[in-house]
Structure 1
Amino acid sequence: MIFRPVVAIAALSLILIGATSSNSRAAEVVVLSTVAAKSVLEEIAPAFERDSNHKLVLRFATAAELKAEIEKGAPCDVALLTVAAVDDLIKQGRFTQISKINVAKSGVGIAVKRGAAAPSITTGEELKQALLSAKSIVYSAQGATAPIMKRIFERFGITEVMSAKTIVVTAITAPEAVASGQAEMGFTQISEILDTPSTRLVGPLPPEVQVYSSFAAAIATEAKAPGAAQAFIDLLVTAATKAVLKARGLEPN
């Protein structure tokens, strides 16, 4: 059962009541976010919209995909992407440095179809054996997990063996591919696994091979509603939102 922080959501309402007086004019805030934060933003969005009078337009994809779209001119007010992507967009003058906040970090998790048996994977050796025993595995082509898994294959000396049974998806997430039976085991951000009801989280990658992705948010230099965008940014670093982040598999800053 996924814990839903009811107290945290109630606290969000109290926080946002204060924002309403300073942002009385309703605005539309376009947020482009990594799919790793999808469940978090969808959970806090209703309270934000209700109590601030602003409307959120949320769009989710991998950080790499969204960064490329922003560089091509895709309009947005706020972006929540990997720290590296946000920093690069700031250097390009597309986002403001002063508005940048570090939001959370997330590790890679292991997913199997709900109801399927899963081996213990707490050490690097157990992970290696699980990879060799799996009939197929999957990860996303555009996400941060792909290069992490490739380095793990190289470290274990199983690159050639794994290439024959690795499925790389683009149109769906790795957990969705596992849920539909396309692969036996999936690798992606823990938050994405927890957000896919038909799969279950076996656990994180073992500590010796785990790599964390850090996420940050910032306001676009050409934001149409900078005040409303700032209200949303402020919400992301409250204690209430941090409780939601933690419940959804992310480690808040």
Structure 2
Amino acid sequence: MTSLNILSGGAAQGLVGSLAANFKTRTGFDIGGEFGAVGAMADKLRKGMPTDIVILTAAIVAQLAAEKLVVPASMAEVGLVETALAVRSGDPIVKARDAASLRDALLAADAIFVPDIKASTAGIHVAKVLQQLGIAATVEARLNIHPNGATAMRHLAASDARKPIGCTQSTEIISTPGVLLSGPLPPGCELATMYTAVVTARAAHAEQARTLIDLLTAPSQRDVRERAGFLGGAR
């Protein structure tokens, strides 16, 4: 069976998965490829990995367009994704209404599960917030850093820590069994990231890539996007 090759931020994995059956019905194609930290995915495209479509942050897609690695005319916004807190299923929900309560919640945790703090959108932001709150050195030994948010959330779900917490993009929390979305980061610490889908310049299956983009952004799929954690997008 022929597959559409995708390189995508982990934020879009749940949404793409929910549309895979519809996409196969329309095209006969499965969806293959990788989901992970956006920086790592962009680098794979730069290094020549065969790819038909990428779904990455708008900023990175703009860089790839400048490098002539994607087709600018095919760009389409999928939606905004918030960086949020997560807890294990069954643990009390943690609400951080302001920077002070976020600081308290992070200091109270004995394990903090996060994605790559150098290559992932949420991980880079978490590192910045810890510095902003003045607790980076204090919690450094408690950080459980994983290649992407989905992996971090799976480890949070399986954690035997007394009071663990996670922080990554809301879409990765929603799509992971065993964890619950606790809420977005508070004002002053928040991050909402626009994700953009685009056909690559060397796509072997450009027509099918455009079909997937149409599905991802169609007004009729708005509820599907929102359930997956994407805000805004086409109406």
Cα 1:185–1:99 shift into 2, 3 Å: same
Q: Residue type of the partner of 2:176?
A: T
Q: Residue type of the partner of 2:156?
A: V
CA contact (8 A) 1:110 1:204 kept: yes
Whole-Å separation in 1 of the counterparts to 2:98 and 2:136: 19
Name the residue aligned to 1:7.
none
**Alignment identity in percent?**
25
Whole-Å separation in 1 of the counterparts to 2:154 and 2:222: 26
How far did residue 205 of structure 1 move?
0.8
Name the residue aligned to 2:47.
72
Name the residue aligned to 2:135.
158
CA contact (8 A) 2:114 2:152 kept: yes
Among 180, 184, 199, the residue aligned to 1:200: 180
Whole-Å separation in 1 of the counterparts to 2:11 and 2:3: 23
Name the residue aligned to 1:243.
223
Among 131, 154, 158, the residue aligned to 1:176: 154
SS in 1 for 2:194: strand
1:185 to 2:165 alignment: yes
What count of residue pairs does the alignment treat as equivalent? 228
How far did residue 236 of structure 1 move?
1.9
SS in 2 for 1:98: helix
How far did residue 145 of structure 1 move?
1.5
Name the residue aligned to 1:122.
97
CA contact (8 A) 1:27 1:228 kept: no
Cα 1:118–1:56 shift into 2, 3 Å: closer
Name the residue aligned to 1:51.
26
Superposed CA offset, 1:178-217 (max 9, x none): 1111661110000111111111111111122101121111
1:102 to 2:80 alignment: no
Deviates more, 1:142-151 or 1:209-218: 142-151
Q: Residue type of the partner of 2:191?
A: V
How far did residue 75 of structure 1 move?
0.5
Whole-Å separation in 1 of the counterparts to 2:204 and 2:218: 24
1:232 to 2:212 alignment: yes
SS in 2 for 1:116: coil
Tell me how large the CA RMSD over aligned residues is. 1.9
Cα 1:71–1:238 shift into 2, 3 Å: same
SS in 1 for 2:31: strand
Name the residue aligned to 2:64.
89
Cα 1:130–1:29 shift into 2, 3 Å: same
Question: Mind listing any 5+ residue stretches in structure 1 that lack a counterpart?
Answer: 1-25
Name the residue aligned to 2:200.
220
SS in 2 for 1:209: coil
Superposed CA offset, 1:26-68 (max 9, x none): 9642222211111111111101211333333243122111111
Among 3, 12, 24, the residue aligned to 1:37: 12
Whole-Å separation in 1 of the counterparts to 2:78 and 2:184: 20
Whole-Å separation in 2 of the counterparts to 1:54 and 1:113: 35
The structure that has the greater radius of gyration is: 1
CA contact (8 A) 2:94 2:183 kept: no
Superposed CA offset, 1:59-91 (max 9, x none): 312211111111110011111111122111111
CA contact (8 A) 1:108 1:187 kept: yes
Whole-Å separation in 2 of the counterparts to 1:167 and 1:54: 37
Whole-Å separation in 2 of the counterparts to 1:31 and 1:119: 34
- After superposition, residues 12-23 of structure 1 pair within 5 angstroms as none
